[in-house]
Structure 1
């Protein structure tokens, strides 16, 4: 984690670039600490800016979290669309989507913030946004990727298993059963994708 002192001089970035950099820092902090463990101060330190500037840009931690959710969804859908549109794409639709999913899983700030959001279904603000995002992904799989409902269910279930193992850092488990599961799913998924790594 970055430990930049916000008081030190840093190169001035255009507002759009600073906002994007702050979103990236926030995604990492939310991925690591969850919504409740993250603070705007911790995010500001990660981004190398002041807490007041974070609040000025986004208004509140809640609004920042919603912006991170939106960015994660955009990155996933963009990665899926590129994988399907690639002229030299090999394998089935499931294979190509799986490879794109796993590539994004290498960045902790993409899938894990969404997992934290999905666990907050009862929150009056984050819950509806998380449900909307999940449905957006489901509709993409059914309508744009043209997967069958059973294929979409399997793809999502496999992706959630990958996310859960990443969030738990299961490869660090002392019990061989846990570390072996992580080995089978995570290492196998890096070469095969969520659906085909069985």
Structure 2
């Protein structure tokens, strides 16, 4: 049976058990983050997402109701993963941390998410649609959700939050353009060392392990 014919509603997950609806949903959203991340909202299709997830296109449409709803769900998933990572980190704060220590801990939490390149690129695709009448509002809502966590939960001042997001955006852009692929170039090494700090080596290794959709073609 080909991936295009596969429907998880009739296939067992192993040992006679079927995947739950939540697991199926996450499977499709993870695939959507890869496809939308690499191809953008206009270039991503439910057919490509179905192939990436290994399910039928009909199943994808039946679960999400179409491409825009699927993109919305994928974008909200990406933003929520950032929120969850930050809140998990903040839960370990004692209240005695200096602002620098808090921002460093949040930065490490964010950087750990780039193991999933789809999350990184899906957020960039979402933010690039700020002009869109339907999706622009979602982009702003998702960003402000993360901002409120940094300001209210982490307790950073407006100025500290501004500096944190400024560096975070540079981190995001460098990773999106795969700057670690230029490791060895003095200018690239200097820029990454200044931006990523002690995590530079780890990020370079993570990026090398990320294979673009269709092998980058």
Structures share fold, TM-score greater than 0.5: yes
**Over aligned residues, Cα RMSD in angstroms?**
2.7
Identify the residue that residue 18 of structure 1 maps to in structure 2: 24
Partner of 1:72: 78
Structure 2: gaps (5+ residues): 13-17, 202-217
CA deviation profile, 1:170-189 (whole Å, cap 9, x unmatched): 23359946643564257536
**Could you say which residue in structure 1 is the equivalent of 2:3?**
5
Structure 1 unaligned blocks of 5 or more: 193-198
Find the aligned partners of 1:69 and 1:22 in 2 and give their Cα distance.
13
Cα pair 1:165 1:182 within 8 Å, conserved: no
Task: Report the counterpart of residue 156 of structure 1 in structure 2.
Answer: 165
1:103 corresponds in structure 2 to: 112
1:107-186 equivalent positions in 2, closer than 5 A: 107-173=116-182, 176=185, 179-180=188-189, 183-184=192-193
- Per the TM alignment, residue 141 of structure 1 is displaced from its structure 2 partner at its CA by 1.1
The C-alpha deviation readout for 1:9-36, integer Å capped at 9, x for no partner, is 8534222211111111111212222212
Runs of 4+ with >4 A deviation: 87-91
Out of 180, 188, 197, which is 2:197 matched to? 188
Task: For 1:189 and 1:48, locate their aligned partners in 2 and report how far apart those are by CA, in whole Å.
Answer: 38
Tell me which structure has the larger Cα radius of gyration: 2
Deviations 1:42-71 (A, max 9, x none): 100010011111111111111111101111
Question: Which residue number in structure 1 is paired with residue 55 of structure 2?
Answer: 49
Separation of aligned partners in 1, 2:164 and 2:48: 34
User: What is the Cα deviation at residue 88 of structure 1?
Assistant: 8.6
Preserved CA contact (<8 Å) 2:86 2:149? no
Cα pair 2:75 2:123 within 8 Å, conserved: yes
Equivalent position SS for 1:150: helix
TM-score normalised according to structure 1 size: 0.83
Listed one character per residue, the Cα deviations across residues 88-141 of structure 1 (whole Å, up to 9, x for unaligned) are 998721121111111112211222211111011111111000011111111111
Asked if structure 2 preserves the Cα contact closer than 8 Å seen for 1:172 and 1:179, the reply is no
1:170–1:178 CA contact under 8 A, matched in 2? no
2:89 matches 1:83: yes
